Amino acid sequence: MKILVIDDNKEITDAVSFYFDSIDISYVVANDGREGLQIIKERNDFDLILLDIAMPEFTGLDIVQELKKDNLFSSKNIVFFTASNINEEELLSHGAKGIIRKPISIDELSKAIAKFGRDRI
């Protein structure tokens, strides 16, 4: 299984990285929205993309819009990471396949991995 984590908060990406290392999951981290978009465009092998919505300069929703514009969105398993109080229905209307609220729960992260992974944990 391969996961891309896009979140500007290094503490969150460090914690998620530690968890993925502990269960032997292959992952890539981007701490910037534009960098994350570039990685998505260069590689087409992620089973799951964990995408923060609220990032400075280039948000998770900006990434979604760019992927849709380039016809790359529909094939992606994107789960939003958010601390926002935006309701779940509104977030899912953007086309994400799920939402994980911050602070991140290992249980919710495990469920997303199980749902979208080729190899179940």
User: Which tens digit of pLDDT belongs to each residue from 57-114?
Assistant: 999 999 999 999 999 898 899 999 998 888 888 888 998 999 999 999 999 999 999 9
Q: What is the mean pLDDT of residues 45-67?
A: 95
**Single pTM value for the model:** 0.92
- What are the structural domains of the chain? 2-116 (3.40.50.2300)
Reply yes or no on whether the pLDDT at 26 is more than 80.
yes
The DSSP-derived string for the chain is: -EEEEE-S-HHHHHHHHHHHHHTT-EEEEESSHHHHHHHHHH----SEEEEES--SSS-HHHHHHHHHHTT-STT--EEEEE-----HHHHHTTT-SEEEESSPPHHHHHHHHHHH-SS--
